[in-house]
Every structure is written in structure tokens, then in C-alpha cells.
Amino acid sequence: MSWLAGRCSDPLEILASYPREQVDRLLRIPNKRLHRDVAAIAELAKPSSLFVHTGSPEDREYVRRRALERREELPSKFPKHTVHFDGPRDLARDKANTRILVAGGREIPLVNTLDRDAGLREVAELLKGIMEGREMLVAFYLYGPSGSPSTLYGVQITDSAYVMHSEDILYRNGYSVFAERGEGFEYMLFVHATGALDENGWCRDVEKRRVYIDPEGNATYSVNTQYAGNTVGMKKLALRLAVYKGFREGWLAEHMFIVGVKGPGGRVSYFTGAFPAGCGKTATTMIADTVVGDDLALVRDFEGEARAVNPEVGMFGIIDDVNPEDDPEIYRVLTDPEAEVIFSNVLLTEEGDVWWRGKPGEPRKGLNYAGPWWPGKLDEQGKEVPPSHPNARFTVSVRHLAKLDPRIDDPLGVPVSAFVFGGRDSTAWPPVEEAFDWDHGIATKGAALESERTAAVIGRVGEVEFNPFAILDFLSISPGAFAELHFRFARRLERVPKVFGVNYFLRGRDGGYLAEKRDKRVWLKWMELRVHGDADAVETPTGRIPVYEDLRELFDRELGKEFSERLYEEMFAVRVPQQLKKLERVLAIYERMPDSPPLLLAILKEQGRRLKEFRAVRGDWVSPFKLDRR
């Protein structure tokens, strides 16, 4: 039971003040904890009405209509396309005010924590009367395919129809499952309250924005915010609860895509992949042969095999720079009048067109995340206001994707052949490299993931951000504990996935990028061959890289492109000082944390020793043509 529910007096008495029909929908789920949770929030937040979502098409339509009636979403010229604005101060996840509630306020390395009692008292205070005059919406969702042993269950309570509309697109409805399962089964509870709005419909009290995650109570609370990353419980709030649960139970909740890559004879091999923002995650997802998921993966061991399910059935993707040349598939879906899409923080023109940076044509007068917009509009500092925001997004079902994998709903998920980790690195990592084994890959690729700041991010260009497993923002345990969980996870497997590192951003001696965008396909195909032992490799101190002839053939077959020996040499040369520098930076971080697994430290140190010995014999820059083939 959530902490707040424990404070609820008599659930049925509280619920009796709401319409009978809605209460009956709730009572049809025979679960007393649930009745208590819903009643407790109602008692505290004092909504004037209640809606309980049964998952029927009528209820879905009701939620969508409410979002429009309340102007949380605005209509566009296509009836199925709506536009939501978060307002200029609520456009992204609020890292500072997102905290993991921990008993006694114990610190967790690199995780923003808060004393649990203090945090819960604070949200209880903030929730008081916050839904007065509003409708409280309650819905039930699955975090995974129906009937899957991997699936988790969630209850969303919110006063935002936009939040629930988003969840209706992104997740499978779970009302009937809740009704069948009845008493005593475990679910995650997500409580969201929008808080006071200003005349634009944006959150007024953003300084009182709070996103608190309570792993002990399996519940989360977010107030005074609308941005989906802070409010859609089933997305990143659930991920933090799942990481915690997985750590205790021995499975992995990952911030990863799941894709299928076709190999010889029509076989399909599945990869999961973690990339920090701006490092090519969506691009890799869309360039693969089939898509199971673009953002999240739950990976469990079934009969000695690692199997992944996507907890979602939709995408909440960045729309900035989505264009018909680079992203034909996403562009097609987003411009299909028959696809239900919520656009957020784009430009809605006076003609009812949706425009974002990357869409062909010029932006015209209209509304955007900061109010009325016109070409040349300046902000208070005299800076030009962009027509659409860099974090503008689309919310759409994956079922519109032509590449959707037929196993998206398989309760056992797909077998994972490889874990891929990708960073943005101008100097050290080659475009693709296989780890020596699972532990080596987890330590030197997953746990060592970094991304360079680009001009688009505040801070000094070229500075690197440590982002282990690309999940740092969503960890409810320490990075060391998360690495340890990965080591532990594979011990039970009979078939251990391979681990690869990829880097699309390596620069050559002239400072330019060495790889083209579409080359990703070749790296995927090479990894697929390696998974089945169908390609040779060259051994370096940091892993195994492709041999020239295999890549030449893949470039020709996949892209019709000539791949020169010179380019290969520059891409895959071992850059020893740069590799050492990167390694030492990561090792220093883990050495500072008190709970880093000894195995992790040992593997990183061992790699440092290997690199130094190698340098003593071979020098700083070593051509792959000079190395042994295995």
C-alpha cells in the first residue's frame, strides 16, 4: 500500500461522494489496496469529479475529447492530430527536483535522493486540495505485453487528460487484467497533479514542481508540471521503480531500444541498445530491419536465455530535425492524417498546420511553446524565439511503423543476441567494437558510457558527460550497483549476449567525421555476423574490430558504397593515448564511489595495463592492418 493510502480513513465513504457509475467501475476491480489508494488521493486532492477508464474505445475517446475541451490539447487541421504546449518553463525533465525517496535520506552515488518521510510529507502538503474543481482520472496500464511474466502493472491517477491521452497511445490498457487479477497483486502507483495554471494554460507554480519516486511504496508523485517526462508515470517514473525491483529480483530494466537485424538466410537477430541523448539511438532504431521498441526494455532470463520485452507500444520521440530525407519512416507516420498523434511544443500555425524544424516549408505565424509566434519574434533578452522547441516531441503508436517487429506482443519477448552501447566520442572509440566477453563489455562499454556535449547543449563544447548505460537520469540505485546487477544477471544465462560499443562520431585527422549517417547499417550487419561467428575480427587491447574485407563487402552490399583501405585504417586504428585518457576518466569516477564492484574496477584497470603495454611495443597510433586476425 502506498504511504498516502495508509492515511486514508474509510475508502468507501470517501468514494461515495463521486458518481456511482465511476465508483462501480473501480469496485469491479476487487482489490482493496487499490480502492484505498484512489480514495486516499481523492480525500487529499479533493477533485470535484471522478473518471475511471475501462479501456473501452468510448473511454479512450472521452479522454481525448476532454483534453481538447480543457484546451490541454489544441486541434490541428487533421482531426487525429492534436498539439500540446508545456509552456516555456516546463519543457523538459526537472533533474534538480526529481528525487528518489530513501529511508533516512541515505545517499546513493550520483543519484538525487531525499529523506523518504520528509518527501512524502512534502507531497502530501502539495497535493492538498490541488484538484479542487477538477476531474480526477484513473487508468490502468500494462508495462509489457499481455500475459507476459516480465510485465509490470501501473495505475495512473492524474487530473490531466493530456497525460492520460499520452498513456492511452503509449501503453496497453490493463483494466480487464486488473479486474481479473483482483486482490493482492502488485502494481505501481503514479499520482500526478497539474497544479495551478496561468492564463496560457501553463503551470504557474513551477518552482514548486516536484517529482518524487518512492521505491519502497512502489509509487511516484509529481506535481506542478505537465511535461510528459515528469508526468507520464508509465514512462520514466516507472523505469526508476523497475530498476529498483529488477535489482532486488535479478533482472534488467533498461533505457534501451530493441531491434531486429536480418542476417544471411533471412535469420533475425535481436539487439538492445543504450545511447545517451544525441548519440544516435533513434537513428539506429529506425535504420535496423525491425523495431520492437525505441526507448525501454525489460530483460529477463528465461530458460538460460536473455529475453527482452518493450514495456511500451508507442514512441515519445524528439521531433526536432525529423525530415523526409533522413527519417522517411517517422516523417511518413507523423504526416499521415490517419495516425493519432499528439505533437508537443511544435508550432501550430493559424491555418492549423503543425510545423517543426526539419519539416519542409517555412514556419508561419501561429502558437508555440512560448505563446503567439511570428517570424523574427524576439524574447525578453532580444534573442530570436525558435518556431519549435529543440525538445518538441511526438507521441504516436508504434503500430503505425512499417518495420514493426511481428513479435512486439510476444509474452516471452525476443531473445537478445547483443547489447549495444553507443556514445558520442570524437577521439577514442572506433565505429564498432566487440567486447572480449560479457563482463568486459559491461565494464568498458556500458558502465563507461560517456557523451560529448555538442553545441546544442549548454556547457563547453567537447566536455564529456558520464552516463553509464545511458540511464544515469533514471537510476534509483548507484551506477556501481547497476553494473553489479549486469554481472550477476549473466551468471544465470546459458547463452550470454555479446556486447558491442559503437561510436558514430569519431573524427579523422582533418577534424571531420569519418562515418556517414547511413554507415550505421553496416555496423549493425557486422555485429549480426559476429553474433553467429560468421565474420573474423582483429584483436586490439580494447576489444575486437572488423577485418577490412568484411566491411568492404558489407559497404558494397548494404549501401553500394566503396570502402577504401585508407578510410578503414583511419577509422579502426588503435588510438592509444585517447583510449587511455577515456579509461582513466571513467576509472576515477568509479574509484570515488564507495560501492563500485571490485570486478568492475579490476576490468578497467586491466584494460589500462593492456593499453600501456601495447603502447610500449607499438606506439600511439596503430594501424589495424598491423594486428593479428582471429
Closest to Mn ion by CB, 40 or 342: 342
98: left (phi over 0), alpha (psi -120 to 50) or beta: beta
Q: How far is the CB of 229 from ligand SPV (least distance, A)?
A: 2
Is there a contact between 164 and 137 (Cβ–Cβ < 8 Å)? yes
Other Cβ atoms less than 10 A from the Cβ of 78: the count is: 17
Parallel/antiparallel/unpaired status of strands 188-193 and 152-158: parallel
C-alpha cell at 545: 574490430
Question: How many chain residues touch Mn ion (CB under 5 A)?
Answer: 1
| Residue 295 touching Mn ion (CB under 5 A) | yes
Q: Which of these ranges, 220-228, 293-301, 484-492, 578-586, lies near Mn ion under the rule CB under 5 A?
A: 293-301
Closest to ligand SPV by CB, 152 or 490: 152
Q: How far is the CB of 203 from Mn ion (least distance, A)?
A: 22
Is there a contact between 516 and 457 (Cβ–Cβ < 8 Å)? no
With CA atoms as reference, report the closest residue to 175 among 160, 184, 165, 187: 187
With CA atoms as reference, report the closest residue to 614 among 586, 583, 585: 583
d(CA 238, CA 312): 11
334 SS3 class: helix
Closest to Mn ion by CB, 83 or 228: 228
- Residue 8 annotated to the active site: no
Residues that bind ligand SPV (CB under 6 A): 93, 228-229, 235-236, 277, 295, 316
Question: Using CB distances below 5 to 8 A depending on partner kind, what does residue 229 bind out of Mn ion, ligand SPV, none?
Answer: ligand SPV
H or E stretch covering 137: strand 135-143
Closest to ligand SPV by CB, 444 or 467: 467
Closest to Mn ion by CB, 391 or 417: 391
Parallel/antiparallel/unpaired status of strands 414-423 and 268-274: parallel
C-alpha cell at 8: 486514508
With CA atoms as reference, report the closest residue to 617 among 582, 576, 578: 576
Q: How far is the CB of 38 from ligand SPV (least distance, A)?
A: 25
First to last CA, the chain: 56
d(CA 448, CA 472): 12
Q: How far is the CB of 442 from ligand SPV (least distance, A)?
A: 21
Of 279, 333, 370, 471, which one is the catalytic site residue? 279
Q: How far is the CB of 473 from Mn ion (least distance, A)?
A: 9
Q: Which of these ranges, 214-222, 287-295, 454-462, 570-578, lies near Mn ion under the rule CB under 5 A?
A: 287-295
d(CA 23, CA 51): 8
Closest to ligand SPV by CB, 178 or 212: 212
Other Cβ atoms less than 10 A from the Cβ of 389: the count is: 24
Closest to ligand SPV by CB, 74 or 277: 277
Facing residues of 197 across strands?
203
Question: Using CB distances below 5 to 8 A depending on partner kind, what does residue 228 bind out of ligand SPV, Mn ion, none?
Answer: ligand SPV
Question: Closest-CB residue for Mn ion?
Answer: 295
Question: Using CB distances below 5 to 8 A depending on partner kind, what does residue 72 bind out of Mn ion, ligand SPV, none?
Answer: none
Closest to Mn ion by CB, 261 or 471: 471
Contacts with 325 (C-beta within 8 Å, 6 or more apart), sequence order: none
For residue 410, the one-letter residue type is D
84 SS3 class: strand
Question: Using CB distances below 5 to 8 A depending on partner kind, what does residue 235 bind out of ligand SPV, Mn ion, none?
Answer: ligand SPV
Question: Using CB distances below 5 to 8 A depending on partner kind, what does residue 610 bind out of Mn ion, ligand SPV, none?
Answer: none
Q: What is the DSSP string of 338-396?
A: TS-EEEESSEEETTS-EE-TTSSS---SEEETTEEE-TT-B-TTSPBPPSS-TT-EEEE
Q: How far is the CB of 367 from ligand SPV (least distance, A)?
A: 22
d(CA 536, CA 628): 11
Question: Closest-CB residue for ligand SPV?
Answer: 229
Q: How far is the CB of 472 from Mn ion (least distance, A)?
A: 12
Closest to ligand SPV by CB, 235 or 615: 235
Q: How far is the CB of 418 from ligand SPV (least distance, A)?
A: 21
Backbone angles phi, psi at 613, to 5 degrees: -60, -40
Angle at 226 between CA 221 and CA 228, to 5 degrees: 80
Q: How far is the CB of 393 from ligand SPV (least distance, A)?
A: 7
Q: How far is the CB of 452 from ligand SPV (least distance, A)?
A: 17
- 388 to 407: interface string for Mn ion, x by CB under 5 A: --------------------
For residue 400, the one-letter residue type is H
d(CA 95, CA 543): 35
d(CA 132, CA 298): 38
Closest to ligand SPV by CB, 35 or 240: 240
Rounded (10°) CA dihedral 416, 230, 276, 249: -40
Active site residues: 279
Q: Which residues bind Mn ion (CB under 5 A)?
A: 295
